Structure 1
Amino acid sequence: MNYSKFIKQLVFVFILGCTAIVSLHVMYKPFLNSALFAKYIDSSSSASVKEINKDLSEVLKYNEFNTSQVRSTPVTPRTDKYKHTCLDGFSNCVRIFDTSVDYSQVKQIHKCVALRIPSLANTPICVYDPKIDIYVSKSIITGGNWEGGNILTVIEILRRNPNLLFLDLGCNVGVYTLSIANAGRNVTALDANRKNLEMLTTSLRKGNLTNMVTLIWNALSDKAETVGFKEDLKNIGGLQMLSGVSDAGAVSDEKSSVSIVLDDLVPMFRNKSVFIKMDIETYELKAMLGGKTFFEEVNIKFLFMEWFHHKDNGVGTGIIQFMTERGYQPFNPSQTSFPLKIENRKSWSGDIVWIK
């Protein structure tokens, strides 16, 4: 046997193998950290073999690009995650928040105390540290409630109108939602802030009210998009939406949300009578403009909203025009016998209710 020739062959095979390994490492390195490869990893657990092969083919097409080019593609795992949480049959991404999950240990819960509304049994409500929520949470901790007078007004209206559904747009930690549910009425509550919904879910579970409430995790605007958050460090409830967030993967669930339009909720409320409480931090007009069909196909009998921010600005003018064109009149919630005069809008109360 020619041992010299045999050894040369072994060396050649070894060198060839090393070359192949290095080549594969270089070729696949560009997409190992890319959003596209993450998309494949995320979907492969549930996708069919055909879908996996399709994704792999898509990945291979991008091997010729460098890492920075692949990272600039708009396909991200976050987009896939949103798709998986969207309800089927809706035009935009309407997301129902899972109230079966235990969120009682989330870090934002400062404590859970009794929500005390006259004529109702106490029910637990979880709140923020009053140092970072100097209005709502502090008021609940020190006084047992927030806007208790308005809540009693709403409950009385609902009692006089047994067929009314309650829609809480901008539910925050859930003062209205919990009170209305505790009064025996079903509630649909929407909020953009996941932290609020985690806390409200905990309150519902502690008070055995989960079956009375449907939670929707979305922002509300005049178009569907990803929105960022502008935080008020002392007023969590004063969280404002920032439109135009183009890169959904660049922000976390705690710093952003997916906005829908009010019209997206038509299938849930078509031909039904509704009481709406709207408190979405200056986005009220945008919500209305995105809900023209909702106002046509849903019988909105009452719309309760904060007026403080709109007393003398253009948004307030737009709200007045939108509502009056549809036959609504503004009232002080504590005095609904006589409508407020439009020309006195600057002196209207901090909260108003539109009635049709």
Structure 2
Amino acid sequence: MYKMFTKQNECRKMFYLPMIFLLILLLIVINRDFLLQLEPIKQAKNLQWYTTDKDLPKIYPHSCVRCNLALRSGKNLWWFVCVKKNLEYISAKILNEGIYDEFASRVLLDLLQIYPNATYLDIGSNLGPYVTMIASTGHRVYAVEPLAYNLAFISLSLKLRGTEENVTLIQKAVSDRRGELLYPWQDNPNNEGYTILVPEEEAFFKPKNEILDPVSSITFEDILDQIPTDDVILKIDAEGSECKVLTRYLHSTNKTKFIPYIFMEWCHLMRNLNGMCPEYDTFTQGFFDSGYTPFSLNYSNGHIHPTELDYNLVDVLWIHKKAKT
């Protein structure tokens, strides 16, 4: 009788153990999105997504250009930008002109002068022409860039000027969710700044030589949570991903940081480049609901009428109604 009872228990165990295993597996699958979110939260807490020199590849620049800008105060501001050997668009422009965009550079410096204690956040830094410039003023800078190769150029430029302590480098994609693997897609070798982040299912259908190593994503709010100052001045050039990066923040009623100015590329958004801004109207309305008004970079000319926010605009400067002037 005892042996029969023991055998029955063993049979039950053999039946229930696979069922328990399948149940656990089912719970993992159902909650995979939740589990994906837990990992980046842990990373943010431990600062594991901050990039250091040991994370960066070796680089061999074409040259490192000393950029100079005479300020209105009479002082001369100078910094370095190291450029690539292939002299793609951004590298060639810096090498030939001695500065990437003088007018935009002056606008950013003017804005930071109004907010001397603000942090400058640069999403989509590329070679860091603005990052290295603003670091030379002594401002705190956060440079977010998906390509470690580009961050290596920024790191070298900063070291040559001795301003590396002013900058936090972050090699991450910025999106509307945490922990997503996104693949940098470069289909134009003459303009490496035109790098679009695509999900794996889309990257699969692209030419292999145009797809780079995947990068995990964090959110805009993740970055803001790590910035110690209350005021942040934002420049974002994410090749159409701006909608994913900013929409939730713009519609939030509990903003933890004050961003008086948002300087961003606009031309890709209205045309819904690569399907990354399907809710363009919702995205744009978020700026107005949050108290922003659009201006051209030459903001002394007055604001841009909402009907003029189209794909003919290259850059837009959004100024908050409470921003100092």
TM range (shorter): 0.7 to 0.9
Kindly state the Cα deviation for residue 312 of structure 1 after the two structures are TM-superposed.
Answer: 4.9
SS in 1 for 2:193: helix
Distance 1:315 1:130, change over 3 A: farther
Kindly state the Cα deviation for residue 348 of structure 1 after the two structures are TM-superposed.
Answer: 6.0
Kindly state the Cα deviation for residue 216 of structure 1 after the two structures are TM-superposed.
Answer: 0.8
Kindly state the Cα deviation for residue 110 of structure 1 after the two structures are TM-superposed.
Answer: 2.4
| Aligned residue number for residue 123 of structure 1 | 79
What are the residue-to-residue correspondences of 1:43-192 with 2, within 5 Å? 87=43, 89=45, 95-99=49-53, 105-107=58-60, 109-119=61-71, 120-131=76-87, 133-134=88-89, 136-192=90-146
Contact in 2 for aligned 1:150/1:334 (Cα 8 Å): no
Contact in 2 for aligned 1:263/1:294 (Cα 8 Å): no
Structure possessing the higher radius of gyration over alpha carbons: 1
Distance 1:114 1:157, change over 3 A: same
**Mapped pair 1:303 → 2:262:** yes
Contact in 2 for aligned 1:274/1:298 (Cα 8 Å): yes
What are the residue-to-residue correspondences of 1:1-356 with 2, within 5 Å? 87=43, 89=45, 95-99=49-53, 105-107=58-60, 109-119=61-71, 120-131=76-87, 133-134=88-89, 136-224=90-178, 225-231=180-186, 232-244=188-200, 254-269=212-227, 272-291=230-249, 296-313=255-272, 314=278, 316-336=280-300, 338-346=302-310, 349-356=313-320
Distance 1:294 1:148, change over 3 A: farther
What is the rounded CA distance, in whole Å, between the counterparts of 1:234 and 1:312 in structure 2?
23
Letter in 2 for 1:156: D
Kindly state the Cα deviation for residue 344 of structure 1 after the two structures are TM-superposed.
Answer: 1.7
Structure 2, unaligned stretches of length 5 or more?
Answer: 1-38, 273-277, 321-325
What is the rounded CA distance, in whole Å, between the counterparts of 2:133 and 2:285 in structure 1?
32
**Bigger CA drift: 174-183 or 264-273?**
264-273
Contact in 2 for aligned 1:94/1:260 (Cα 8 Å): no
Q: What is the RMSD computed on CA atoms of the aligned residues?
A: 3.0
What is the rounded CA distance, in whole Å, between the counterparts of 1:209 and 1:153 in structure 2?
21
TM score, norm. by length of structure 2: 0.72
Kindly state the Cα deviation for residue 162 of structure 1 after the two structures are TM-superposed.
Answer: 1.6
Kindly state the Cα deviation for residue 219 of structure 1 after the two structures are TM-superposed.
Answer: 0.5
What is the rounded CA distance, in whole Å, between the counterparts of 1:178 and 1:318 in structure 2?
34
Distance 1:214 1:271, change over 3 A: closer
What is the rounded CA distance, in whole Å, between the counterparts of 2:161 and 2:70 in structure 1?
17
What is the rounded CA distance, in whole Å, between the counterparts of 1:294 and 1:172 in structure 2?
31
Contact in 2 for aligned 1:266/1:294 (Cα 8 Å): no
Contact in 2 for aligned 1:194/1:254 (Cα 8 Å): no
Distance 1:336 1:245, change over 3 A: farther
SS in 2 for 1:234: coil
| Aligned residue number for residue 4 of structure 2 | none
Contact in 2 for aligned 1:110/1:129 (Cα 8 Å): yes
Distance 1:337 1:160, change over 3 A: farther
What is the rounded CA distance, in whole Å, between the counterparts of 1:353 and 1:315 in structure 2?
20
Give the paired residue count: 264
1:84-137 per-position Cα deviation (integer Å, ceiling 9, x unaligned): 9x74526xx86111047886x524x22212123333433221111354x12x11
TM score, norm. by length of structure 1: 0.67
What is the rounded CA distance, in whole Å, between the counterparts of 1:118 and 1:206 in structure 2?
20
What is the rounded CA distance, in whole Å, between the counterparts of 1:305 and 1:315 in structure 2?
18
SS in 2 for 1:299: coil
What is the rounded CA distance, in whole Å, between the counterparts of 1:243 and 1:236 in structure 2?
19
Letter in 2 for 1:267: D
**Bigger CA drift: 309-318 or 165-174?**
309-318
What is the rounded CA distance, in whole Å, between the counterparts of 1:275 and 1:229 in structure 2?
26
Distance 1:312 1:244, change over 3 A: closer
SS in 2 for 1:264: helix
Kindly state the Cα deviation for residue 270 of structure 1 after the two structures are TM-superposed.
Answer: 6.8
Structure 1, unaligned stretches of length 5 or more?
Answer: 1-82
**Percentage of identical aligned residues:** 23
What is the rounded CA distance, in whole Å, between the counterparts of 2:149 and 2:158 in structure 1?
14
Kindly state the Cα deviation for residue 245 of structure 1 after the two structures are TM-superposed.
Answer: 5.8
